[in-house]
Structure 1
Amino acid sequence: MVSAGAQVGVFAACVVLFVPMGLAGWHLSRNKVLFFSGALFVSLAVGVHLSPYLPSLPHLLIASFHPTSPSSSSSSASCLSLLHRVTWSPASPATARAWSWPPSLASTCGFARLTRHDASTLLNGSWIMVAGDSQARLLVLALLRLLLDPAAAAAAEPDLFRRHSDYHAAVPARGISVDFIWAPFEANLTRLLREDLRLAPRAPDVLVLGSGLWHMLHATDASRYGDALAAIADAANALRSSLPVPPPPHMFWLGLPHLVNPMLNTDAKRARMNDTILQAYDREVDERCILRRDGGPFLLLDVGKLTRGCECTPDGMHYDGVVYDAVMHIMFNALVIESQQRI
């Protein structure tokens, strides 16, 4: 929705632009170089005066990227709730598992899988930050595999998976910056929101956080986990409210995966990371107002739902790259819908 101030600004800019250009064209029609120079000068001046009324470039690009997305806010909200309704094709000796949206749903909501060019256009000029544990690291790997050519993505993988370390990558041609922050515990995420990002010169355009596996293994206390989630939600809301312009980050919460208990590789994991405990942790996510659907700041990336559908895990906890590819494309399509709602 365009504000009254923006409408006035646009009208004034049109007057400033077209009246002088018309007069210039009348008097300088025989001197094309002089006319072009004058028109360019006036256009730049208008751009300077009009820029405060326009959204930041990354958000503008995101909002204009997906022409088939629903236009009304009600249909957009409905489509957001349908993003995780993917179908899985069965694996065979010749093919791996694959995912897709049902054709009718893809047509109705405009959901689409992105090519490298599409993703680079969508994220042009954006800063993406992903913070959490190994699940978050696997999401970053999926992102790099899409944004970079295969050789560059393969070369980046050893640094990305350096144990307990942060990672940074860039796509200079598109001005895209990607950061992974190793933050396995909830307190790490709260500190990131309350301290590190408040001191940063700008906020990320896209912020993905997730935690729970380390707390489940080392603390095994769902109530304490819930208290920590509430602190994260408070810190995220405080960060959003403290940011003037550009708009606050698009915030996503990376949900816990389905755990296949017999496949877990240590006795401690098999004892503490079972279905009963996982359900208790998931309930805390639902009840602590961390998710957008409950009035919180984060849109859920439901890894649990996707992994229950895929059943493609080598160790009962981490899943094949196809799962994180699905998570990434769900996030991309949510970005398109959310950005259209902000305009």
Structure 2
Amino acid sequence: MMLGAVQFGVLAACIVLFVPMGMAGWHLSRNKMLFFSGALFITLAVGVHLTPYFPSFSAFIPSSSSLPSSPTVVASSVNRDSCISSLHEIEFHNQDSRNNDSTSEKKSWKWVDSNKGVVDCEFQKLSKSDASDLLNGSWVVVAGDSQARLMVVSLLELLMGLDEIERVRGDLFKRHSDYHTTVDVIGMKLDFIWAPYVSNLTDLMVEFREKRYHPDVFVIGSGLWDMLHVNNATDYGVSVSRLKDSLMPLLPVTPEFEFEDRPVVVRSPLMFWLGMPTLINSILNTEEKRAKMTDAMWYAYDEQIYKSKLVRNFGGPLFLLDIHYLSSGCGRTCTVDGMHYDGIVYEAAVHIMLNALLIESQQRLS
């Protein structure tokens, strides 16, 4: 605004100087020329002093920020959302495996051929090297029940290899205990926190908030333990709502969902919600589980996740790792107890998570 006034002042000075000279060239009388020059000077002087109090001409011209986004920017945003929504479109296949002159079947998985994301979004099964580059120097926290522990196993298998994971499997599978490790080669710190109830997750969020530090990547999820030992979907819903409230201060605040009827901006997925698996009631290994962990109860618990708007699929901040969809796709042959599934299900979930991180961070691996 100040610059505009200065420029206008220079223009006024030029007019005051040169216009009377031009008029003199037309042989006007001296008095007429002096009168006109004085009037012109006073008018322009007043204009210069009042200019700062009026909008500049540029104010009436749409700025670049107020113009509609360019097609490239819009396409980029749409593609990102489309890519995220396509990440779970995978399928499992039986694959013959020969060993010592015998043939056995094992499962494999891939993104479905009709999934445009494979080409357009560059979905890929990350190699050990690529996953290491992505998580280099990061701090990852996985918190929850036995499903979360299986997620940790698959992530470490990718980063460390099968031989190395066998050395730590005993420590990792100590019942109802935490596990902490560092992948020294890439400087990645990984913590598994045993948190079987949603209230345990809430306490963890409060702890991070009070200490004013938090991991680079969260993977949290809880529900099976509550379903078995509490078996009250309404109470579970209350706990999930409290969890959402507790994690809000930790989220970097892109209007994508509403919190207390107001839009909130979140760069996600910083946090992932680990969904509950498909439960095959007939092969659950105890009578109590078969009585309490029914399909009806599973859907009642899942409905509370929807009502709380915790995950992005339902308008919330957390990216859903849909173990229910993945375990259902793998099928009954992928579980021996109707609840815990073969590693291939959690392997697929790990690659979905890593590709989601790539999409959100707009990175591309060579």
Query: Contact 1:216/1:273 (CA < 8 Å) preserved in 2?
Result: yes
Kindly provide the amino acid, as one letter, of the partner of residue 263 in structure 1.
I
Q: In structure 2, what is the Cα distance between the partners aligned to 1:130 and 1:278?
A: 22
| Contact persistence 1:204–1:249 (CA under 8 A) | no
Say whether the 8 Å CA contact 2:90–2:109 is kept in structure 1: yes
Q: In structure 2, what is the equivalent of residue 223 of structure 1? A: 234
Shift of 1:266: 0.8
**Which residue in 2 is equivalent to 1:149?**
161
Work out the CA distance in 2 between the residues paired with 1:325 and 1:252. 15
Q: Does 1:72 align with 2:83?
A: no
Counterpart for residue 175 of structure 1: 187
- CA 1:118–1:167 in structure 2 vs 1: closer, same or farther (change >3 Å)? same
State the shift of 1:72 in Å. 0.7
Instruction: Return closer, same or farther for 1:249/1:178 CA change in 2, 3 Å cut-off.
Output: farther
For structure 2, list consecutive stretches of 5 or more residues without a partner in the other structure. Answer: 1-73, 97-102, 254-266
Q: Give the aligned CA root-mean-square deviation in angstroms.
A: 1.9
Number of residue equivalences? 267
Larger strand proportion of the pair: 2
Summarize the alignment of residues 58-207 of structure 1 with structure 2, pairs less than 5 Å apart. Answer: 72-90=76-94, 94-105=104-115, 106-195=118-207, 197-200=208-211, 202-207=213-218
Q: Which of 1 and 2 has greater Rg?
A: 2
Q: Could you state the TM-score of these two structures normalised by the residue count of structure 1?
A: 0.74
Deviation at 1:95, TM superposition (A): 2.9
Report the alpha carbon displacement of residue 292 of structure 1 after superposing the two structures with TM. Answer: 1.9
Give the direction of change, closer, same or farther, for the CA distance of 1:170–1:201 in structure 2 (3 Å limit). Answer: farther
- Equivalent in the alignment of 1:35: none
Question: Could you tell me how far 1:104 is from its partner in structure 2?
Answer: 4.7
Determine which structure has the larger helix proportion and give its number: 1
Aligned match of 1:288: 308
Q: Are 1:271 and 2:291 matched, yes or no? A: yes
1:331 aligned counterpart, secondary structure = helix
- What's the CA shift string for 1:292-316, capped at 9, x where partnerless? 2333221100000000110210110
Q: List structure 1 segments (4+ residues) > 4 angstroms apart after TM superposition.
A: none
Do the aligned partners of 2:183 and 2:189 also contact (CA within 8 Å) in 1?
yes
Q: CA deviation at 1:200?
A: 4.3
Question: How far apart in 2 are the matches of 1:321 and 1:216?
Answer: 23
Q: Which amino acid aligns with 2:282?
A: P
Letter in 2 for 1:321: G
Q: Secondary structure at the match of 1:231?
A: helix
Equivalent residues of 2:214, 2:250 under 8 A apart: no
Read off the aligned partner of 2:90 and give its amino acid letter.
V
Partner of 1:262: 282
How has the CA–CA distance of structure 1 residues 214 and 120 changed in structure 2, closer, same or farther, with 3 Å as cutoff? same
Deviation of 1:150 after TM superposition, in Å, equals: 2.4
Which structure is higher in RCO with an 8 Å CA cutoff and minimum separation 6? 1
